């Protein structure tokens, strides 16, 4: 089956191109501790060998940045680096990578007196100097706080003044506004070597946000993904339900399937990405309606170098198994590996957990319930889920 793909700008990332007439690139992310450069290099090599066109690595410290130099020396792969708060690490890692991902929701945190525009200008200068591409990586779990504040304010006043928000704007506001703002700013700097991602843990939201962005900025290559899709096989189905329809519409130039699996099984993400492309090529694709059979939505992140405890993946799988009884109830349960997207996702969930080294933070409807050991938290979470189901039945 021939898909009529849209033609975006082509962005070179190491030896691959994203967009234009290039085939869709499957990418993934290493989940080893970045500072353990031997394990990280081995993981990157394995992922590149099984078909990852780009492998992303999280960097938060100088030690991580130094490790990247070693990874680059040892492996021939297209490397992307994931920066969150510490945008200044860009100049330390750029010599060793092909792409830098920044998160508009996190770049505002360090050096708060410096405007986001000056920070992005700095990233563009670094990218130009070291021949790197950029990714503007919007994630619903860590949105720009200013956009969220404005959005909540509008929501509060919309009953008094319905003209404040159309239905469309109510839904799409913060992530789309954030993406458009950064695209317009990068364009104003004359920098065009970038891609955009707009991810959410809800597949339907991913579908709608990316459709909308693609209509507004058709020339910008899109990196597709459902963030925190969870463990396979459900995580794969959630991702398929969002990405396959988009790709059938010709939208999406690169993709990642985020699965909650341990670091040495990350090749499952690449295999799932390739499966999606095969499905699209054959025209047999999943849709959002395939997800309705299970109403319980378990959101769990894929884990990465930032995961504070290796017990996080086990916890996510245990919660998945312990909540079989709740599958027919429309509840969202989040299990997150660290504080980067953990607090945001667990605020949005009916029952949310985000993991520290020895303790897990538990929330109910966004309210902090307590901090528990990995053993205790499963029982506490199940209790909360049962309470919510009882309340629904009344
Ligand atoms: S929330 Fe999960 S995937 Fe995201 S940075 Fe933390 S450990 Fe990594």
Mutate to test the pocket of ligand 1, among 101, 261, 337 (most ligand atoms within 8 A of CB): 337
Quick one: 330 and 385 in the same domain? yes
Quick one: 262 and 370 in the same domain? no
Beta-bridge partners for 26: 255
- CATH code, 381: 3.30.413.10
Q: Per-residue pLDDT averaged across 86-108, rounded?
A: 95
Question: Is residue 283 exposed (0-12), middle (13-18) or buried (19+ Cβ within 10 Å)?
Answer: exposed
Nearest CA to ligand 1 atom 3: 303
Mutate to test the pocket of ligand 1, among 201, 341, 354 (most ligand atoms within 8 A of CB): 341
Q: What distance in angstroms lies between residue 368's CA and the mean position of ligand 1's atoms?
A: 20
Quick one: 308 and 270 in the same domain? no
Length of the chain: 394
Cα distances (Å, whole numbers) of residue 236 to 53, 64, 220, 351: 19, 30, 26, 22
Q: What distance in angstroms lies between residue 238's CA and the mean position of ligand 1's atoms?
A: 18
Q: What distance in angstroms lies between residue 228's CA and the mean position of ligand 1's atoms?
A: 9
Asked, for residue 239, whether it belongs to a domain, the answer is yes
pTM given for the model: 0.93
Confidence class for position 343, pLDDT limits 50, 70, 90: confident
- Choose the final residue of a domain: 291, 324, 359: 291
Asked, for residue 236, whether it belongs to a domain, the answer is yes
Nearest atom in ligand 1 to the alpha carbon of residue 258 is 3
Asked, for residue 138, whether it belongs to a domain, the answer is yes
Residue 132 has pLDDT above 80, yes or no: yes
Quick one: 213 and 171 in the same domain? yes
How many domains is the chain built from?
2
Residue 4 has pLDDT above 90, yes or no: no
Asked, for residue 2, whether it belongs to a domain, the answer is no
Q: What distance in angstroms lies between residue 329's CA and the mean position of ligand 1's atoms?
A: 27
Q: Per-residue pLDDT averaged across 202-211, rounded?
A: 94
Nearest atom in ligand 1 to the alpha carbon of residue 304 is 8
CA dihedral 237, 289, 199, 378 (to 10 degrees): -60
- CATH code, 232: 3.20.20.20
Nearest atom in ligand 1 to the alpha carbon of residue 307 is 7
Cα-atom radius of gyration of the chain, to the nearest Å? 20
Nearest residue to 277 (alpha-carbon basis) of 51, 26, 48: 26
Dist CA 65 CA 35 (whole Å): 8
Quick one: 185 and 328 in the same domain? no
Quick one: 226 and 372 in the same domain? no
What pLDDT sits at residue 163? Answer: 65
Q: What distance in angstroms lies between residue 384's CA and the mean position of ligand 1's atoms?
A: 24
What pLDDT sits at residue 357? Answer: 92
What pLDDT sits at residue 339? Answer: 83
Q: What distance in angstroms lies between residue 8's CA and the mean position of ligand 1's atoms?
A: 30
Please report the DSSP string for 197-258 in residue order. Answer: EEE-SSHHHHHHHHHHHHHH-TTS-BEE--TTB-STTHHHHHHHHHHHHHHHTT--SEEE--
Q: Per-residue pLDDT averaged across 353-379, rounded?
A: 95
Q: What distance in angstroms lies between residue 58's CA and the mean position of ligand 1's atoms?
A: 9
Asked, for residue 365, whether it belongs to a domain, the answer is yes
Crossing angle between the packed helical segments 203-216 and 167-188, to the nearest 10 degrees: 50
Mutate to test the pocket of ligand 1, among 340, 345, 357 (most ligand atoms within 8 A of CB): 340
Quick one: 238 and 89 in the same domain? yes
pLDDT tens for 64-85 read 999 999 999 999 999 999 998 8
Question: Is residue 121 exposed (0-12), middle (13-18) or buried (19+ Cβ within 10 Å)?
Answer: middle
Q: What distance in angstroms lies between residue 5's CA and the mean position of ligand 1's atoms?
A: 32
Q: Per-residue pLDDT averaged across 258-284, rounded?
A: 96
- Choose the final residue of a domain: 291, 320, 336: 291
Nearest atom in ligand 1 to the alpha carbon of residue 339 is 6
Confidence class for position 185, pLDDT limits 50, 70, 90: very high
- Choose the final residue of a domain: 291, 319, 345: 291
Quick one: 199 and 341 in the same domain? no
pLDDT tens for 142-175 read 888 888 888 888 777 776 766 656 555 555 688 9
Quick one: 144 and 196 in the same domain? yes
Q: By percentage, how much of the chain surpasses pLDDT 90?
A: 81
Quick one: 287 and 304 in the same domain? no
Nearest CA to ligand 1 atom 6: 338
Quick one: 49 and 183 in the same domain? yes
Domain ranges, residue 302: 297-393
Quick one: 154 and 194 in the same domain? yes
Nearest atom in ligand 1 to the alpha carbon of residue 345 is 1
């Amino acid at each position: 089956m021939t898909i009529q793909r849209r033609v975006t700008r082509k962005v070179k990332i190491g030896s691959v191109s994203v967009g234009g007439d290039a085939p869709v690139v499957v990418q993934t992310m290493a989940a080893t501790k970045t500072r353990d450069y031997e394990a990280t290099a081995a993981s990157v090599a394995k992922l590149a060998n099984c078909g990852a066109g780009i492998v992303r690595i999280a960097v938060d410290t100088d030690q991580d940045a130094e490790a990247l130099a070693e990874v680059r020396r040892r492996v021939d792969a297209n490397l992307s680096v994931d920066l969150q708060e510490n945008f200044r690490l860009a100049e330390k890692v750029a010599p060793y990578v092909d792409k830098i991902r920044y998160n508009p929701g996190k770049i505002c945190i360090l050096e708060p007196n410096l405007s986001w525009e000056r920070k992005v200008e700095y990233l563009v200068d670094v990218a130009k100097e070291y021949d790197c591409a950029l990714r503007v990586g919007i994630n619903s779990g860590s949105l720009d706080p200013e956009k969220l504040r404005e959005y909540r304010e509008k929501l509060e006043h919309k009953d008094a003044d319905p003209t404040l928000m159309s239905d469309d704007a109510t839904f799409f506001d913060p992530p789309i506004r954030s993406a458009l703002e950064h695209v317009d700013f990068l364009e104003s700097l004359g920098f065009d070597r970038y891609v955009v991602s707009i991810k959410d843990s809800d597949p339907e939201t991913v579908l709608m946000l990316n459709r909308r962005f693609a209509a507004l900025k058709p020339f910008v290559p899109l990196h597709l993904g459902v963030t925190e899709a969870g463990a396979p096989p459900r995580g794969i189905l959630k991702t398929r339900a969002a990405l396959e329809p988009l790709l059938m519409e010709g939208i999406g130039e690169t993709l990642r399937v985020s699965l909650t699996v341990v670091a040495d099984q990350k090749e499952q993400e690449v295999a799932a990405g390739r499966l999606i492309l095969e499905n699209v090529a054959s025209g047999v694709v999943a849709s959002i309606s395939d997800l309705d059979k299970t109403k319980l939505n378990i959101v769990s992140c894929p884990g990465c170098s930032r995961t504070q405890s290796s017990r996080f993946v086990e916890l996510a799988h245990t919660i998945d198994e312990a909540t079989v009884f709740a599958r027919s109830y429309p509840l969202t349960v989040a299990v997150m590996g660290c504080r980067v997207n953990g607090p945001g996702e667990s605020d949005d969930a009916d029952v949310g957990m985000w993991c520290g080294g020895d303790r897990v933070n538990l929330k109910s409807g966004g309210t902090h319930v307590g901090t528990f050991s990995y053993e205790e938290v499963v029982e506490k979470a199940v209790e909360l889920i049962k309470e919510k189901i009882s309340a629904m039945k009344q």
